[in-house]
């Protein structure tokens, strides 16, 4: 078989990843399938990442480096897609790693099932000992489930499997579709959601092939900044997309929208009072969106009792909620 017919393009966006990138790329180069190209997109790093990129490009013939001027992860992935020559594509975050057999396992499953996307589960690790234990473990393939687009939307994406990483894609299914730029949260969920309109089959494997690093400096652990409001934007866009596809799912996606609003409000509440005052407009946006979405029939009933209570409290007494949440988190 022509090697071009099996080439996998591995797209790795990185921003200030000097401490992680080399190990990430090594885990890709150590894959049991060897027909790979690795595209690193250095997105405006100001640490030593540029030197690491240069060393990796010199060490591996299949590593290519693209440099951008801090345009965000979506723009970085899009630049990788524009450069990718493979018939298959996967995305890896620069602080994560792959189990040695992951790409072979996913590509074999894609051939076997005729799927346009094949995904797997991920395992979390936080230090080298945990990583080594995971690599030594025999990662069983487990069961596989193949969905059509509607089934995947209902049973996977709206159940939390909305990540773009830990998946292998047929390049021709992606075509000219790209990540929505300007978002720092939820951009991968929107990408997968819009991609469903282009695919026939998606398979999920009960196989832990992707190593997700519990990065203490990761976005989920950082204090609130205005960019965190992207979570609300992405769920608003997702709801619009789902409603165009199947309005019967409005209560489900609206419940997730409410949870996204409350997570954003929680990030705001963790700030000291003086800083919260600076972001009063963000608090008001959260409350306005929440009061509108909680009117969707059945949305609140899909939340846990604890979330329903938080939604009601924040809707009626936003300042009181913020103070109470702040004290609780302390």
Band of the pLDDT at 324, cuts 50, 70, 90? very high
Last residue of a domain, one of 160, 183, 213: 213
pTM, 2 dp: 0.93
Residue 218, in any domain of the structure? no
Say if residue 173 is in the same domain as residue 244. Answer: no
Of the listed ranges 4-18, 105-119, 125-139, 255-269, the least confidently predicted one is: 125-139
Number of domains in the chain: 2
Counting every residue, how long is the chain? 330
Q: What is the pLDDT of residue 3?
A: 57
Residues facing residue 88 across a β-bridge: 8, 170
Query: Which residues does 277 contact at the CB level (< 8 Å), separation at least 6?
Result: none
Say if residue 181 is in the same domain as residue 283. Answer: no
Domain span at 16: 3-213
Residue 157 φ/ψ, nearest 5 degrees: -60, -45
Say if residue 144 is in the same domain as residue 263. Answer: no
Residue 109, in any domain of the structure? yes
Say if residue 140 is in the same domain as residue 230. Answer: no
Nearest one of 213, 294, 282 to 255, comparing CA atoms = 294
Say if residue 85 is in the same domain as residue 110. Answer: yes
Spatial contact of 97 and 211, defined as CB atoms under 8 Å apart: yes
Spatial contact of 244 and 301, defined as CB atoms under 8 Å apart: no
In the block, tokens 């950082």 appear at 222
Q: CA 139, CA 133: separation in Å to the nearest integer?
A: 11
Could you tell me the maximum CA-CA distance found in the chain, to the nearest angstrom?
65
Q: What is the pLDDT of residue 1?
A: 45
pLDDT in tens, 301-323: 999 999 999 999 999 999 999 99
Say if residue 92 is in the same domain as residue 195. Answer: yes
Buried b (16+ CB within 10 A) or exposed e, 238-259: bbebbeebeeebbebbbbbbbb
In the block, tokens 């060490």 appear at 59
Q: What is the pLDDT of residue 137?
A: 78
Say if residue 41 is in the same domain as residue 180. Answer: yes
Say if residue 166 is in the same domain as residue 240. Answer: no
Q: CA 295, CA 32: separation in Å to the nearest integer?
A: 51
Say if residue 308 is in the same domain as residue 268. Answer: yes
Say if residue 33 is in the same domain as residue 169. Answer: yes
Spatial contact of 311 and 254, defined as CB atoms under 8 Å apart: no
pLDDT in tens, 24-44: 999 999 999 989 999 999 999
Band of the pLDDT at 217, cuts 50, 70, 90? low
Q: CA 127, CA 189: separation in Å to the nearest integer?
A: 27
Band of the pLDDT at 120, cuts 50, 70, 90? very high
Say if residue 93 is in the same domain as residue 230. Answer: no
Say if residue 192 is in the same domain as residue 86. Answer: yes
Q: What is the pLDDT of residue 219?
A: 59
For the record, the structure tokens of 179 come out as: 């990540």
Band of the pLDDT at 222, cuts 50, 70, 90? confident
Q: In CATH, what number is assigned to the domain containing residue 124?
A: 3.90.550.10
Q: What is the pLDDT of residue 141?
A: 74
Average pLDDT rounded to a whole number, residues 45-74: 97
Q: Provide the Cα torsion 27, 29, 35, 38; round to 10°.
A: 90
For the record, the structure tokens of 87 come out as: 């018939």
Last residue of a domain, one of 213, 231, 260: 213
Secondary structure (DSSP) of 117-170: EEEEEEEEE-SHHHHHHHHHS------EEEE-HHHHHHHTGGGT---SSSEEEE
Q: What is the pLDDT of residue 4?
A: 63
Q: What is the pLDDT of residue 215?
A: 76
């Amino acid at each position: 078989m022509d090697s071009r017919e099996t080439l996998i393009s591995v797209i790795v966006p990185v921003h200030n990843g000097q401490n992680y990138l080399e190990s990430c790329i090594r885990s890709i180069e150590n894959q049991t399938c060897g027909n790979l190209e690795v595209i690193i997109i250095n997105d405006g790093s100001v640490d030593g990442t540029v030197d690491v990129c240069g060393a990796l490009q010199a060490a591996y013939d299949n590593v290519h480096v693209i440099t951008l001027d801090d345009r965000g992860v979506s723009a970085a992935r899009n630049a990788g897609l524009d450069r990718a020559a493979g018939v298959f594509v996967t995305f890896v975050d620069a602080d994560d790693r792959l189990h040695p057999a992951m790409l072979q396992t996913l590509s074999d499953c894609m051939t076997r099932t005729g799927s346009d996307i094949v995904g797997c589960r991920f395992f979390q690790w936080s230090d080298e000992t945990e990583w080594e234990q995971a690599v030594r473990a025999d990662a069983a393939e487990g069961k596989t489930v193949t969905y059509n687009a509607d089934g995947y939307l209902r049973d996977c994406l709206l159940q939390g499997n909305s990540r773009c990483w830990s998946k292998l894609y047929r390049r021709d299914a992606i075509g000219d579709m790209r990540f929505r730029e300007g978002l720092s949260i939820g951009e991968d969920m929107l990408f997968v959601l819009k991609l469903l309109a282009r695919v026939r089959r998606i398979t999920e494997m009960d196989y832990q092939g992707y190593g997700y690093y519990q990065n203490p400096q990761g976005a989920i652990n950082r204090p609130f900044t205005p960019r965190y409001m992207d979570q609300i934007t992405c769920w608003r866009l997702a709801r619009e997309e789902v409603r165009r596809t199947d309005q019967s799912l409005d209560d489900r996606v609206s419940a997730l929208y409410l949870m996204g609003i409350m997570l954003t409000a929680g990030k705001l509440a963790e700030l000291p009072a003086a800083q919260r005052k600076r972001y009063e407009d963000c608090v008001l946006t959260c409350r306005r969106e929440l009061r509108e979405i909680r009117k969707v029939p059945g949305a609140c009933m899909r939340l846990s009792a604890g979330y329903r209570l938080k939604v009601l409290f924040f809707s009626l007494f936003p300042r009181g909620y913020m103070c109470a949440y702040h004290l609780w988190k302390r």
